[in-house]
Each structure stands twice: as C-alpha cells, then as structure tokens.
Structure 1
Amino acid sequence: MFSEYLMQAAIQVKSALVQNNQKLVLAESCTGGLVATLMTSIPGISEHFCGSAVVYRWDTKMKWLGVQRQTLDEYTDVSVETAREMALGVLNQTPEATLSASITGHLGPDAPVLQDGIICIGLARILGDGPQMRSELISAESYQCDEILAELDLGSDSRHPLTFRQQRQIAAAHQLLTLIASAGVQ
C-alpha cells in the first residue's frame, strides 16, 4: 500500500530531525499538504515540525513566501528558481525553524509537455545564531515523477484505485521526504 512507503519515509524524517535537533517547515504546492499530513500523523512530531504553507497559486507564493514575480514570469512556478525562493521564503517566515523544504511541480493531466511530471524541490537551513544567523540554500533540483514512480511499487487496490495524478503526488511526496531525511542529518 502506498501509505506504507510514505509513512516509512516520514518516520525517517522525524528520526533525522530528532537526532540533529532540527525544526522543519514546509512550502508545498503540487503535494497540496500531503507531506504535512504525513508528518503530523507521527506521535511526538510537534517538537520538530513547525508546519506547512500550501501555496498552490502564483499570488499565494508571492504574498506568503516572497517569491518574486520576475522569477515566476521568467522561469514559471515549476522551476528550481521558484523552489529555491519558496524554501528560503518559508524558512525566513518561520523563526523557530532551522530547516525548510519546498516542492512545486506539474503532475498533470493538463501540464505543458516539457513540464509534465516535473517536480522541483528546494532545501534551506539556518546557519549560526544571534546576529550571525542567516538562511542558506542547501539545494534546489528538478526530478521526473515518472522515474521516481517506477522505483516505487504502489501495487493496486481495486477498491480504491489511484489516478495517475495521485500516483505522481505520492512519488513527489516520497522524493521530498527522502531529501529532507538526508538534509536533516547534514
């Protein structure tokens, strides 16, 4: 079942956060809060999970996270540049957070051909403390959901079949969780 993959990945994130005394905040677009839902289903996560901004529209990305209109106009909302600004923006808006992750993408079915199935993930962290504190980008990368999906065995549940878009959302959430777990131990 797909939730087992995601729950295992979410539990790994919690372990990494606890081990390194990190506090995570998210900015989710194409996953629509799915990763936050997974994280908040883990007992005891509140010490290490600050929350998630679900920023699906351009205006919301700009107003809530400070994503620049020029970035969206030049690169679109499905770009590493936008993911970078989302990760830094949500981190700067959440003073208690020490680590942030963002995800944006086109999961179809009506995505432009060159963006179909593409997700972009940004990771950022806080360095230093007091007056020396600053946010730093760890990484911003793009991924193809269908390649991630091919590695996951979601099986099939004839009672509750998943749409292709839902399968891609699961793949996107899994990739985000995997990268957060890795970043949490750096």
Structure 2
Amino acid sequence: MLPDFLLQAAKEVQAALRTHDEKLVLAESCTGGLVATLMTSLPGISDYFCGSAIVYRWDTKMKWLGVQPETLEKYTDVSRETARELALGVLKQTPEATWAASITGHLGPNAPSHQDGLICIGIAHRSSNDFNSPPEIQTIESFQCDALIAEFPFKADSTPELSLRQQRQLAAARQMLKLISAALER
C-alpha cells in the first residue's frame, strides 16, 4: 500500500502538470521506480507522465542516459553532477517531455559515511518546442534523508516493519515530488 502522504504529493505534481499542460519524465536510481509507481497510480496521468528510466548501476546510467564516465569517476553517482546529467539525459531521450527530474543517492546500509543517506535531485526543463534546443537545468539539490524523515506525517514507531533504507526511500520520493511541484509552479 502506498502511503497517503506520498500519494498526495504525486497528486500535487499531477495537478501542476495539468494546470500548465506539461509532460514529465523521470530518471530514478535510489528510489528504484517508486516515484513512477506513485505517478502511475493516478487515474488520467498518462496525459502528463511519459515514463521513468530506472538507472541503478553506473553502466546503465552511462549507456541509457549518457552520463559521462568522467563524471562518475570524479564525483561518483551520489553527486549533484550525476543528478544533472541524469535529468538532462532522460529529457534528451524523451522528446515529448517538457520536464525531467532525476534522483540518485546512497540509502545504505554499508554506505561510505560521507554518502550515507545522501540524495541528489535534478530538475531540467525544455522551454522550446525545438527539440534541437538544449534543455536547461532548473535546480540541483542535495539532501540528507535522515533529516527528511523527521518531516514525515507519521510516527516512526507506527511502521516498525520499515527499515531505515525503506524510510529513506520514502523520504527521497517525497522530496523529489516536492521539488517537481515547486519547479512547475515557478
């Protein structure tokens, strides 16, 4: 069952897409398609949602969406630079989309301490109908999921079956949806 607070966030994205007559595509790594699942659970979303590339491994990020090997080697996949390339790459691959959002991160366990719970989200926009016109990055942000979990509208002890990784994944999905909504409303 999908949590109500995530479904509500997805509905807000759908409403903003409808209001502005825009189309969205996603590139998901650490959320593993969760945001796409939330979006596709909404009736009528096919008018505004193009799809999601789940690019979990380095090789997939490079081959499917054109993330540069140098970016991954220098910054790793848990970086704003990789989130930027993912958003631009998935938008380039999806001519009908006007907006793209990407997420990458390390939700643990066994993450290096400087990456543990860290997520990076990128939002890109194609402002021209000319497919040859390059899309622009609207925002690139990074967040610590453990701080985001504190914003959840439920008590941690009410869902003891969720691991820390699962809680982080829910927090990451919610944050991605919030950033998409904010970008669409600008």
Q: TM-score, normalised by structure 2?
A: 0.95
Aligned partner letter, 1:42:
L
**2: distance between equivalents of 1:127 and 1:38?**
26
Partner of 2:84: 84
**2: distance between equivalents of 1:11 and 1:119?**
23
Aligned partner letter, 1:177:
L
Partner of 1:100: 100
| CA distance 1:132–1:106, shift in 2 (3 Å) | closer
- CA deviations 1:113-163 (Å, max 9, x no partner) are 0000100000001012237733111111110101110111333446x7111
Q: How many residues align?
A: 185
Determine if contact 2:62/2:68 at 8 Å carries over to the other structure. yes
Determine if contact 1:2/1:154 at 8 Å carries over to the other structure. no
> Secondary structure at the residue paired with 1:137?
strand
Unmatched tracts of structure 2, length 5 or more: none
- The percent identity for this pair of structures is 62
Q: Given the alignment of the two structures, is residue 182 of structure 1 paired with residue 182 of structure 2, yes or no?
A: yes
Query: Residues 30-49 of structure 1: matches in 2 within 5 Å?
Result: 30-49=30-49
**1: distance between equivalents of 2:132 and 2:169?**
38
Determine if contact 2:95/2:131 at 8 Å carries over to the other structure. no
Q: TM-score, normalised by structure 1?
A: 0.95
Determine if contact 1:2/1:170 at 8 Å carries over to the other structure. no
Taking only aligned residues, the RMSD between alpha carbons, in angstroms, comes to 1.5
Aligned partner letter, 2:99:
L
Aligned partner letter, 1:45:
I
**1: distance between equivalents of 2:32 and 2:124?**
20
Kindly state the Cα deviation for residue 185 of structure 1 after the two structures are TM-superposed.
Answer: 1.9
Partner of 2:115: 115
**2: distance between equivalents of 1:58 and 1:117?**
18
Unmatched tracts of structure 1, length 5 or more: none
Aligned partner letter, 1:27:
A
Determine if contact 2:2/2:38 at 8 Å carries over to the other structure. no
